[in-house]
Copies of this chain bind each other. A is one copy, B any other.
Amino acid sequence: MIYTFSINTEKENMYDITKNVQKAVDESGVKNGIAVVYTPHTTAAITINENADKYVVMDILFGLNTFLHNRPEFLHDEGNSSAHLKSSLVGCSEQAFVEEGKLVLGVWQSFFFCEFDGPRTRKYMVKVIEC
């Protein structure tokens, strides 16, 4: 079973999607395993990082823009090559363990959907491996 979720994004942001990942785990009925989160977009990504201080997300986005900004030499005429680059570096999937039906995340960890080229209506999907 693939659990699919939609999200309406801004130009650029990171959205805490942990509740929906846990919901997929709940619906799967898997007690022990691995939850894999995937996004089918090439200018977005999935990551796990800090959920406590909103400045962490702001600094990650600012850092990515500072260090991986668009370059005048880029050839792709949609002008979003920086977003494609971020997508491959952060990655389109991330995973966490499940124990007794609950995601085993660190105290400060959440799953985030990363939008690098919005606003758009985006999708992300969850699958749970029993193991």
Contacts and interface: CB of A to CB of B under 8 A. Distances in A.
A42 interface: yes
A66 B98 CA distance: 36
A59 to B, nearest CB: 4
Interface in A20-49: 32, 34, 36, 38-42, 47-49
A125 interface: yes
B76 A56 contact: yes
A68 interface: yes
5 nearest A-B residue pairs (beta carbon): A40-B106, A59-B81, A55-B75, A55-B76, A42-B50
Given A40-B105, A56-B76, A66-B71, 19 more contacts: A38-B97, A40-B106, A41-B106, A42-B56, A42-B106, A42-B109, A53-B77, A55-B75, A55-B81, A56-B81, A59-B75, A59-B85, A63-B71, A63-B85, A91-B94, A92-B94, A93-B95, A104-B125, A128-B131
25 contacts: A38-B97, A38-B104, A40-B104, A42-B48, A42-B49, A42-B50, A42-B56, A42-B109, A49-B84, A53-B78, A55-B74, A55-B77, A58-B75, A59-B71, A59-B75, A59-B76, A60-B84, A60-B85, A60-B88, A63-B74, A88-B90, A91-B94, A92-B109, A104-B125, A129-B129
